[in-house]
Chains A and B, each alone.
Chain A
Amino acid sequence: MTIDLKTIKHISKLSRISVDDEKAKKLAGDMNSIFDFIEKLKELDTNNVEPLTSVAETTLKLRVDEVKSGNIREQVLKNSPDENEDFFVVPRVVE
């Protein structure tokens, strides 16, 4: 299997990471060598195997649905790269 530049550009869109042509070339090379290594899994017959999603064999516990935010709005907003009064600010999305 080979991952071509078109696929790299597609994945970069899905990943929301901008990739120029030079970077795409390097990524394609790296990813192809990694996937060559991963292809080893194809040797295994796993038709009758259940996928393992979690090793923690517990059932989720229920808890009371209550707010435990601690009223730290200011501290939370302080980390924002761009804030305006009580809001997070992003580039204009409505023209």
Chain B
Amino acid sequence: MSDITSLTLTDLVKSIKDKKISSEETTKAFIDRGEKSRDLNAYITEDFSNALDKARAFDQKPNFDLKLPGIPMAVKDLFCTNGVKTTAGSKILNNFIPPYESTVTQNIWNEGAILLGKLNCDEFAMGSSNETSFFGSVQSPIDKDLVPGGSSGGSASALAANLTPITIGTDTGGSIRQPASFTGTVGLKPTYGSCSRYGIVAFASSLDQAGPMSKNVKDCALLQEIISTYDEKDSTSIDFKRNAYSKELTNNIKGKKIGIPKEYTVDGMPKEIEDLWTKGIEYAKDCGAEIVEISLPHTNYALPAYYIVAPAEASSNLARYDGVKYGFRSKGENLIDMYEKTRSEGFGEEVQRRIMIGTYVLSSGYYDAYYIKAQKVRKLIKNDFDEAYKKVDAILTPSTPSAAFKIGEKTNDPVSMYLNDIFTVPVNLAGLPAISIPAGVDAKGYPLGLQIIGKAFDEQNILNIAYAMEEKIEFKNKITDWWIK
């Protein structure tokens, strides 16, 4: 049989259920590869020896009725894991051991999966390249010194490098879809309220969503089916009828109306992205979909509005890190001095910048001009989508305005870094589901993704479209294992 670590989740589950391989063999294979791949810096915390114990325990008393029987899996270090250090990529949490488990990860363990460890990410998920992590930048397996994207960069790198068969990330402005696009993998940002936020380190609470990252669409549907549950511990969790996404997955999308928004383009966008989009439209037509031109007129205002709303919520959420109850503490002459030094030394540069922006736009005299203004613009952006969905079932766009870039290339220019998320941010502001699927490569051979945006709660539909298009695209990720000596 082919190498265990290169199997899709679906094939791995089948192999374990058919007793062709054990959970222990599987877990060992991923641990071995993880140990050989430390140069990628994908892990913040390895939990390998516990993982092996759990795998052995599973093999002794296997339950093959579970959806993830004995499947090892690493997760983004933004999910609280009971008894396992959770840092959010920050110095201020570098010794934090949660006494509770996030709902999303609990759902995964309930189906028989086993934690391999915690994956690197931008500090508090603030970044588009995984370069803001206190634990260092992550290498993309696609090429040396290439960013994997962010903020779920460790997740994307680990998945593409076969260190985990599937993973989860979080997406506040594109943090699942952009790294998926950069690493030739699939990433789904579910509808706001679909997956519980309980136990996920908060960034911007009205935008944050957890979601699956996978090697193909079928795996993505399976994990979404597991993590999307109503949860009374999250007051914004929504109680709606969820589909059995993997069982109901179909490539029959005949007659589906797919909208093409003319505003999804930026100055200086490489022609490769334009070509990819055109190719995507052809693939959708080949699948029997009907293409409809649409307009989302406020698209260009989404990113500026996001850079008010997200930092405002972040400045409020991150007020809790004061060095008193948990995390890093700096010595101070008095209480206030201790707070100020703790936060100055404990937070990295990007996080401090965003707290300051957020504090400023919420401060007296600026609240109406910035924060309320941004919320009004957010309404206009949502209205754009509502109008469009009177005519179409889904929307097709590029996932990002460029392919992955080199480590260090954009760190000195925050605005150019922010522009990475120009096509993903509107979706978060409107609370919609969207999936990024790999669809081609640029001249250097770096992956490029297409984004399919759906109506709220219509994950099944965008998964189906992605599934049908994936068959036509036949994308194969080229990973050379350059980092393994």
Contact = CB atoms under 8 A, between A and B. Distances in A.
Interface residues of A, number: 50
B370 interface: yes
A21 to B, nearest CB: 14
Given A53-B206, A81-B328, A16 B376 contact: no
Interface stretch (B22-30, B44-52, B214-222, B231-239): B231-239
A91 B360 contact: no
Interface stretch (B71-79, B298-306, B387-395): B298-306
A32 to B, nearest CB: 11
26 contacts: A8-B356, A11-B359, A11-B363, A16-B336, A16-B339, A17-B340, A27-B353, A31-B360, A33-B414, A38-B304, A38-B307, A38-B370, A41-B374, A44-B298, A44-B301, A52-B375, A52-B378, A52-B379, A55-B192, A63-B232, A72-B99, A75-B99, A80-B324, A81-B329, A91-B332, A91-B333
B1 interface: no
Contacts of A18: 337, 340-341, 343-344
A88 B325 contact: yes
Contacts of B336: 16
Interface string B248-286: 000000000000000000000000000000000000000
A41 B371 CA distance: 11
A80 B236 CA distance: 29
Category for how many chain B residues contact A: 35 or more
A90 B363 contact: no
A15 interface: yes
Given A11-B359, A51-B379, 4 more contacts: A12-B356, A17-B343, A51-B372, A90-B324
Contacts of A82: 329
B352 interface: yes
Contacts of A67: none
Which of A12, A14, A16, A78 has the most chain B CB within a 10 Å cutoff? A16
B232 A56 contact: no
Contact of B343 (A15, A38, A55, A78): A15
Which 6 residue pairs across A and B have the least CB separation, nearest first? A55-B431, A51-B375, A81-B329, A79-B326, A75-B99, A46-B376
B376 to A, nearest CB: 4
B315 interface: yes
B308 interface: yes
B356 A27 contact: yes
Interface string A52-85: 1111101011010000001010011011111000
A44 B307 contact: no
Given A37-B307, A41-B301, A82-B329, A52 B347 contact: no
Interface of B: 95-97, 99-100, 192-193, 206, 232, 235-236, 238-239, 298, 300-301, 303-305, 307-308, 315, 319, 322-329, 332-341, 343-344, 347, 352-353, 355-357, 359-360, 363, 370, 372-380, 382, 413-415, 418, 430-431, 456
A6 interface: no
A93 B335 contact: yes
B375 A79 contact: no
B156 to A, nearest CB: 26
A86 interface: no
A55 B193 CA distance: 9
Nearest to A49: B376
Contacts of A33: 413-415
